[in-house]
Amino acid sequence: MLRKARISDVRTIHRLINISSGKGEMLSRSLMDIYGNLRDFFVYIDEEKNAIIGICAMSIIWENLAEIRSLYVDESRRKEGIGRKLVEACVSEAITLDLFRIFTLTYQVDFFSRLGFKIVDRATLSEKVWSDCFRCAKYPDYCDEVAMDLEL
């Protein structure tokens, strides 16, 4: 089951982000950051286990730009379409908000390509540099994530 995140989900979202961050798949996030941006998150629930097994956020960067971030699906449940459903929920929300360009910085190029995202020059994402990238240990010289975007 896919739904918007709730306050009771914050610690689980934080734990999943830390799992992924520990593997170098995404940036870590503080609890304060997750609480402050909770409305950005969707969660995917395994109803049988009543457990969150996937998360994804859509963050507004500027008047014409949003970012897909913090996408994580439990390793035992990958390849089931859960990641696709999470990203599609974020894209749908972006369209509802009249945002028609959405991007991601990712290591999962094939996954996002299948969803219609195209590789773009990172320089086209200038607003992004000032919102998150400057806090990353890999900024500016060592970033190995691929910038991709989708025109909606």
User: For the chain, how many residues are written?
Assistant: 152
- Band (pLDDT 50/70/90 cuts) for residue 127 is low
44, 86 Cβ separation under 8 angstroms: yes
| Long-range Cβ contact pairs of 12-18 (< 8 A, separation 24 or more) | 12/43, 12/52, 13/41, 13/43, 13/52, 13/55, 13/70, 16/52, 16/55, 16/72, 16/74, 17/55, 17/70, 17/72
Strand 118-119 to strand 65-73: parallel, antiparallel, or no bridges (unpaired)? unpaired
Bigger pLDDT: 40 or 22? 40
Bigger pLDDT: 75 or 133? 75
Provide the 3-class DSSP secondary structure of residue 97. coil
- Band (pLDDT 50/70/90 cuts) for residue 25 is confident
150, 117 Cβ separation under 8 angstroms: yes
Domains along the chain?
2-151 (3.40.630.30)
Q: Could you give the CA distance from residue 144 to residue 122 in angstroms, rounded to a whole number? A: 11
Note the pTM of the prediction, 2 decimals.
0.91
Cα angle vertex 104, ends 100, 108, to 5°?
135
pLDDT reading at 101 higher than 80: yes
Tell me what pLDDT residue 136 has.
Answer: 64
Tell me what pLDDT residue 138 has.
Answer: 63
